[in-house]
Amino acid sequence: MLPSSAWSTKNGSKPPYKDPQPSQPNTHQTQSSLSLSKMAFSLLLIKFIVAGLSMAAFVAGNFNGEVEITWGNERAKVLNGGQLLTLSLDNYSGSGFQSKKEYLFGRIDMQIKLVPGNSAGTVTTYYLSSQGPTHDEIDFEFLGNVSGQPYTVHTNVFAQGKGNREQQFYLWFDPTTAFHTYSIVWNPQRIIFMVDNIPIRVFNNNEAIGVPFPKNQPMRVYSSLWNADDWATQGGRVKTDWTKAPFTASYRNFNANSNSTNSQTTEAWQTQELDSSGRNRLRWVQQKYMVYNYCSDSNRFPQGLPRECKRPRFLR
């Protein structure tokens, strides 16, 4: 999504399966019944193997079946039989894709390896969004920087067409040398942004005090890589070095676990919240790596900070 301003842009696990044991024949069991018993067990085992393979395919995700390229032509590529997707940016165009399905609540995971080297001016986005002037949106955006300087992870939440709820972070690792998992947990109570399963931000449902919350509009998953050197890096002071093009970001293991894709009603994401360990990790991230918080920007809100800003910083 192309921005109108610098601020408006664009497991849970289950119990392990224990193989059923075939019943032992008694002294009166015939060879025929034993063969039938073995056959029944073999069919049962095959059934579970097939089910396990299906679940593995669901968890790993396959871009051929899950997403469609929306722009950039050959700059967006699905590789390795659908297990890898790359987006590229050159001085003519960026590229992007979107999910084929819409989701109303769920947990969305994506492993991303960001543009390496001098990525100044580039923005890699990964977000959920509905459509229209009163759209809802949940954003991860990765703002590139000159070599050796950290990426800025920009997060935002839109509800009913209004955003202005940005928090920004540095990461505690180099996101360009390996894949890392970026997750959005979205349920009726809260939105949790996570990096490698570590929460970096929580946006709670504060409708009780008049704060809009995205809960009625299904959203698709979007991702793009594009040039935003008018604002992305150090407020636009550092421009894109096109001699380094093409810039490439890589994606794998897209997983969308939602009521829209899974009929089960006991998934952990539906009521997920932070336990004491999660809250401690969240405080650690926000104390050490947060570089911007809209709730601390009184100059931006001369009429008063948003209502949710009165809540504890780590649980807004």
Amino acid at residue number 11: N
Backbone angles phi, psi at 218, to 5 degrees: -60, 150
The answer to whether 137 is a known catalytic residue is: yes
Question: Encoding tokens for residue 222?
Answer: 């979007």
Rounded Cα distance between 245 and 17, Å, is 48
The answer to whether 102 is a known catalytic residue is: no
The residue from 66, 68, 74, 137 that is catalytic is 137
Backbone angles phi, psi at 193, to 5 degrees: -95, 130
Q: Is the peptide bond before 246 cis (omega within 30 degrees of 0)?
A: yes
Rounded Cα distance between 70 and 99, Å, is 10
The residue from 68, 74, 102, 141 that is catalytic is 141
Q: 161: helix, coil or strand?
A: coil
Q: How far is CA 220 from CA 44, 66, 117, in A?
A: 37, 11, 30
Contact 280, 314 (CB under 8 A): no
Catalytic residue positions, numbered: 137, 141
